[in-house]
Structures are given as C-alpha cells and as structure tokens.
Amino acid sequence: MRAALLGWRILNQRRWYWYLRYQAVVGALMLRDDTDEPVPPEINEAALRICEILDALFVPMEVRGGLFNKIGRWIREKVTQGVRYPLHDAAAGYTYWDRLYAWAREAAETREGSAALDYADFPVREDRSHLFAKRFVAKTSALLLSHALPDSLNRFRERMAFQVHRGPTWADASARHRRIAATARTATAGVASTVLTYVGFNQDLVNSLGIGGLTLASTAVVEATSGGYSGLTEPMKAARRQARDWLATMSLWLVQYVTWRDGEIREGRTEGVHQLLGILTALRAEEATLDRPQDTERIERHLQRLIEAANRVGDTDLETALMNVESAVLYRPAHIVNALSALIALVEGVTDLPGPTPGPSLGRADPPGNVPRQLGRPDSEPLPRAE
C-alpha cells in the first residue's frame, strides 16, 4: 500500500513539473495573453522543441561535479521529476529566479532554440532571448500562484510557490509576482514599438490610410501591446487619450503646408483626427504634396509635453511613436505621413472616459475637399514628394 501511494505521488509530481515547464514556455511564446484563445499548433510544436532543448542544457550555476550531485540530478530527472528543472528548495530558492532566467535565455540563444522561436513567429529583435526568458520567468511565477489545478497537482504547486516566493502570506507572494511581471512587461513593451515602426514606415504593408490600412495597423499594434500582463494602466490610457486629443488639432497646422494636385492651397476650417486622416490619405496617394513646415515651435512644445507624459507613465510605445513624429516634424518632413500614421494606429483604440460618446470612428472619415473616398493611382504624373 505504501509503495502504491509513493508511486502515485511520484507520478503526480512528474506531471506537475512537466506541466509547469511546458505551460511557461507556451505562455512566453504567446504574446497575446488571452486565456480563451486555443494554443496554435505552431506554438505547441515550438514549445515541445524548446522543452527538449531545456532538457539538454545544464541549469547555469548549479553544481555538476561530484558523485552525489550527479546521482541526485539523475534521480530527479529520471524518477521524481521526469524533466530537468532548476533546484528550488532550501538555499536554492534564493537564486531560483536568476537561474530560471539564465536557463531559458541560454535555450533561446541556441541555434535550435532560435529556429523554434522563428517557427512560433516570436518577434525578431536584438534582445529576443532576453524577452523570451523574462516572459518565461513571469509565466512561471503566475502558474505557481494559480489555484486552477487538480488537487493532486495543487499540493506540489503550493509547496514550490512557498519555497520560491518566500512570503508569509499569499498577498506577499502575489506582490512579488507583480514585480516579476512588471519587469517582463518592460521587456515586452518594445515589441509594439517595433510593430509601429514597421507598420508606420513600410509603404508596401500599408499603402494607404483608408479603412483597410488603418485597421491593419491598429490590429497589429493591439496584438503586440496585448502581450502586456495587465494591459495598459489607467495613467497609460490617459496619456494616449491626451495624444489622441492633440492629434485632433494637427490638421489645422498641417493643412497650411499641403498643396493639392489642382494647385489649390486650402485653409483649415475644421479639425479632428478624421480631417487629419483625410489629409494623410491624400498625401500618401500623391493627391497632394507637403511643403517643409516652417512654424514648428508650438508643435514642438506640445510634443515635448506629450513625450514627458508618456515617459512618466512608462508607456514606451507611445513615447517612441511621439518621438518619431517629433523627428519628422523637425528634421524629416517626408516622414510626417508615416510617423503620424503610426501614432494614430497606436491611440485610436484606447477607451474613452465615461460620458457622451464622441464623434464617429476613424474608419468612417471622409477625406477633405474633393479627394475621393477610394484612392487609386493618379491619372497624371505624381508630384514629387517633399524631401
């Protein structure tokens, strides 16, 4: 009877370690933290491959020499745990998170690990392995505090959570997890900036700012930013609403420097993001050209305040988009269309404050003047772009 109970306990412990490692890898690979979204087959296959790589790598800073160390590691990996996993009990609990991070990062930096990340369509960036490892650690922390497990596994989860979080109460452990998740979100934040740069500055991907182009840009940004663990904070939403309100005044300034294809210079009589969107659509379709703006002092002051606000609330993506607009306005006016496109895509979907609903959505905007709603190639020779 005791042998049967011991065998059942070991079986459940093996299930727990396999589940913990696999689910942490899957969660790290899926930037969209939607619990209702099924795991795509590519994510599952990439996660299984990364788990194989982790099994083949020694955990950094753990002692490898000595007969008893080797025997203990073999028993854990072949009998009691079933997988290779960092030590976390006794004194090892103090350095568990550091070793877990280093282990995941080393796996992501291998040739096979990089191929698995490519297969899972994980973002390609300079600190890719760092991003994966941070997310792996944060997902592990969340799994250790999650009670949504069968009772046979919950016992192992609770014991391990107590060993590595080292808090006298669940609230203390939860607070520690929030700090871990915050560092991972900081690493993840740059993903949306990368997407914004690509969406905003790639003419082939978004060749017009009509309904389809803006929807594509907004969707890409939402998918990237939703990788944050708790989404946007209320101060971040407020900063983005402030940027959106500022964009509503940009058309009055920008239209002064726009010359339409018929040679007319139209004065700005209305304002709003819808009007701005129409101007940008015409510029991108070469229905109009943009002269180098002269009066930039007021715009620069507003941008500086918005950039400071984005920095203050920790919204890296908004700060990047605003800095791109600032650079375009001051130094490279040919990039104004793309920089403003990226900023519109970023702030368009932020929720409004409670109260009366504002005007219609951006997608139903009409271009200014006689610019047609559906834009094709102009019949006449395109006017040169502003340099």
Nearest to 137 by CA among 93, 183, 174, 168: 183
Reported pTM: 0.52
Q: Give strand ranges (E) for the chain.
A: 258-260, 288-290
Q: Assess contact for 289 and 385: CB atoms under 8 A.
A: yes
Low-confidence ranges of the chain (pLDDT < 50): 190, 192-230, 268-270, 360-387
Neighbours of 128 (CB within 10 A): 18
SS3 233: coil
| pLDDT value for 273 | 74
Q: Assess contact for 347 and 192: CB atoms under 8 A.
A: no
259 bridge partner residues: 289
Identify the DSSP state of 230.
S
| pLDDT value for 184 | 62
User: Rounded to whole angstroms, what are the CA distances from 233 to 226, 229, 303?
Assistant: 12, 11, 21
Give tens-digit pLDDT for 121-165.
Answer: 888 877 789 889 988 998 898 888 887 777 778 888 888 888 887
- 263 φ/ψ sector (left φ>0, alpha ψ -120 to 50, else beta): left
Q: How far is Cα 154 from Cα 246, in angstroms, rounded to an integer?
A: 51
| pLDDT value for 100 | 93
| pLDDT value for 173 | 66
**Could you give phi then psi for residue 286, rounded to 5 degrees?**
60, 30
| pLDDT value for 78 | 84
Give tens-digit pLDDT for 10-66.
Answer: 888 899 899 999 999 999 998 765 556 788 899 999 999 999 999 999 998 888 788
| pLDDT value for 269 | 46
Q: How far is Cα 335 from Cα 302, in angstroms, rounded to an integer?
A: 19
